């Protein structure tokens, strides 16, 4: 369209110029001694236009000639960028398909022409690790850090995550503790640090990390509570704390973060350790002060099993707490009262409560308590039946207040995968077999006594 308009304009100008020349041709004189040139005005204008056109074309040609290398370079750059993108796509496809060698090679091809080379370096490092080439993995990560120094957190966090996956726990811990100092508000760093502490069973370190995990909301509330309970139980209930004079129990509890000391799991673990060390009255005091402020199923469960010289006062306290917090219909309250009644020789009341808990929950501890009570009342046959039911309940892992004291079992509870379930089965089977053996021995001994 532009060409057509240009032709029309040129044609109109030519016609106009011709008409002007016919009416008054005029002359243009160009003089320089000893030469003089005289041209018709129309012819001079025509020459001027032609000269302008030639000059314009010559200038355009020169610009195009000198700009060719730049255009070629731009075209070549685009071609390389497209090729780099193609290799990147192949590389990540290889990662998804598990073709580690091909993935690593493609991800490292034409990195100079890739605008997102950081992801390529990280993907190549992962592929190298999957092939067992840890030195090559470290080299890729180091190159990524050199090329992208402002992405230090992301790169070193990736390194720590890979080290944790490869079982390099000490290196992962060192890396993460450095990142905790440089990026204290990073949720990802806090989560991974908690995983490392849990895997290495460094419970004191995990307990100290808990306030930060709570503040950052690093895990869902339920998972955070489970991890905190795990850490506190394993930290506070470590067998080493009971070696010696028991002062380690107090010093360990006092060393907990201020808010953690008010946690019911921490108080329950502290109370259990005091009971194990023979300081039942101190344990009662600790639990009483806490239960006066808030109800805790676990603390009430321990309180009911804690033997002191003031069982009548314990009965009144548990009853008052249950009334205050409206917990009189709960199995935990009934079981605690059954144990206290049993120690206070109120056997019929204890039997009623034990029976009610067994019917409501079928928990192993309630059945075991009922069996012990029946034996105390002289009903040996019913006691043996109760013990057998207790074995079945133990096999079903039925308990009133779940308490997992072994680290591996708690870790399995946080990881409900089939592998974890299979790992837990031998532990349960061994426990059931042990109890069944004891029950069988008791039954045989009783029958022999009756026969004699």
The full set of domain ranges for the chain reads 2-79, 314-452
b/e per residue 338-359 (b: at least 16 CB within 10 A): bbbbbbeebeebbbebbebbbe
pLDDT for position 189: 94
Contact between residue 292 and residue 326 where contact means Cβ atoms under 8 Å apart: no
Long-range contacts of 46-50 (CB under 8 A, 24+ apart): 46/17
Contact between residue 122 and residue 155 where contact means Cβ atoms under 8 Å apart: yes
Q: Percent of the chain, pLDDT > 90?
A: 34
Nearest to residue 190, comparing CAs of 155, 224, 216? 216
272 vs 84: which has the higher pLDDT: 272
pLDDT for position 250: 83
Torsion of CA 320, 324, 330, 333, to 10 degrees: -20
Domain 314-452, CATH homologous superfamily name and number: Tetratricopeptide repeat domain (1.25.40.10)
Contact between residue 172 and residue 196 where contact means Cβ atoms under 8 Å apart: yes
Structure tokens at 369: 């308590």
Highest mean pLDDT among 79-93, 172-186, 258-272, 414-428: 172-186
Highest mean pLDDT among 257-261, 269-273, 360-364: 269-273
Structure tokens at 244: 């010696």
Residue 109 in this model has a pLDDT that exceeds 90: no
Q: What is the chain's mean pLDDT, rounded?
A: 79
Separation between Cα atoms, residue 291 and residue 333, nearest integer Å: 13
What would the mean pLDDT of 141-160 be, rounded to a whole number?
91
The dihedral through the CA atoms of 242, 247, 250, 254 has a sign that is: negative
pLDDT for position 392: 59
Separation between Cα atoms, residue 378 and residue 382, nearest integer Å: 9
Q: What is the DSSP letter of 397?
A: T
Banded model confidence at residue 95, pLDDT cuts 50, 70, 90: confident
pLDDT for position 337: 94
Residue 452 in this model has a pLDDT that exceeds 50: no
Residue 105 in this model has a pLDDT that exceeds 50: yes
What would the mean pLDDT of 66-92 be, rounded to a whole number?
72
pLDDT for position 21: 61
Other beta carbons less than 10 A from residue 149's beta carbon: 9
Separation between Cα atoms, residue 374 and residue 366, nearest integer Å: 12
Separation between Cα atoms, residue 29 and residue 296, nearest integer Å: 116
416 vs 161: which has the higher pLDDT: 161
pLDDT for position 23: 63
| pLDDT (tens digit per residue) in 218-268 | 999 999 989 988 988 888 888 777 765 557 788 888 888 888 888 888 899
pLDDT for position 176: 93
pLDDT for position 322: 94
| pLDDT (tens digit per residue) in 25-75 | 666 777 777 777 777 766 677 777 778 878 888 888 777 777 667 766 665
pLDDT for position 75: 58
Separation between Cα atoms, residue 357 and residue 338, nearest integer Å: 9
Residue 438 in this model has a pLDDT that exceeds 60: no
Element (H, E) at 323: helix 311-324
Highest mean pLDDT among 82-86, 196-200, 364-368, 391-395: 196-200
């Amino acid at each position: 369209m532009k060409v057509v308009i240009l032709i029309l304009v040129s044609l109109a100008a030519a016609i106009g110029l011709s008409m002007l020349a016919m009416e008054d041709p005029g002359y243009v004189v160009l003089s320089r001694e000893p030469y003089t040139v005289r041209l018709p005005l129309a012819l001079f204008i025509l020459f001027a236009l032609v000269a302008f056109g030639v000059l314009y074309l010559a200038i355009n040609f020169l610009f195009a000639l000198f700009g060719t290398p730049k255009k070629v370079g731009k075209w070549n750059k685009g071609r390389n960028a497209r090729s780099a993108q193609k290799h990147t796509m192949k590389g990540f496809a290889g990662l998804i398909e598990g073709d580690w060698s091909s993935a690593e090679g493609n991800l490292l091809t034409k990195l100079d022409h890739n605008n997102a080379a950081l992801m390529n370096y990280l993907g190549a490092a992962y592929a190298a690790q999957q092939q067992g080439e840890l030195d090559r993995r470290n080299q890729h990560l180091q190159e990524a850090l050199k090329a992208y120094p402002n992405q230090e957190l992301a790169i070193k966090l990736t390194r720590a995550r890979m080290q944790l996956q490869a079982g390099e726990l000490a290196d992962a811990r060192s890396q993460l503790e450095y990142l905790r100092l440089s990026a204290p508000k990073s949720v990802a760093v806090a989560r991974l640090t908690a995983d490392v502490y849990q895997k290495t069973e460094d419970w004191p370190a995990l307990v100290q990390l808990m306030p930060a995990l709570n503040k950052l909301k690093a895990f869902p509330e339920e998972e955070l509570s489970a991890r905190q309970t795990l850490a506190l139980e394993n930290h506070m209930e470590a067998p080493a704390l009971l070696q010696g004079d028991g002062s380690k129990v107090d010093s360990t509890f006092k060393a907990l973060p201020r808010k953690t000391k008010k946690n019911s799991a921490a108080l329950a673990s502290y109370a259990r350790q005091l009971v194990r060390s023979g300081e039942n009255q101190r344990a009662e005091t600790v639990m009483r002060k806490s239960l006066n402020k808030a109800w805790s199923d676990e603390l009430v469960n321990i309180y009911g099993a804690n033997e002191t010289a003031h069982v009548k006062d314990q009965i009144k306290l548990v009853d008052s707490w249950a009334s205050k917090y409206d917990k009189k219909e709960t199995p935990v309250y009934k079981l605690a009262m059954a144990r206290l009644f049993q120690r206070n020789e109120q056997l019929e009341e204890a039997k009623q409560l034990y029976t009610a808990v067994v019917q409501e929950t079928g928990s192993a501890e309630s059945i075991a308590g009922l069996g012990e009570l029946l034996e105390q009342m002289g009903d040996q046959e019913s006691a043996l039946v109760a013990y057998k039911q207790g074995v079945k309940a133990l096999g079903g892992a039925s308990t009133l207040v779940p308490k997992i004291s072994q680290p591996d079992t708690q870790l399995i509870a946080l990881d409900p995968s089939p592998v974890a379930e299979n790992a837990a089965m031998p532990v349960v089977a061994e426990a059931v077999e042990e109890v069944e053996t004891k029950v069988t021995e008791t039954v045989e001994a009783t029958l022999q006594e009756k026969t004699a």
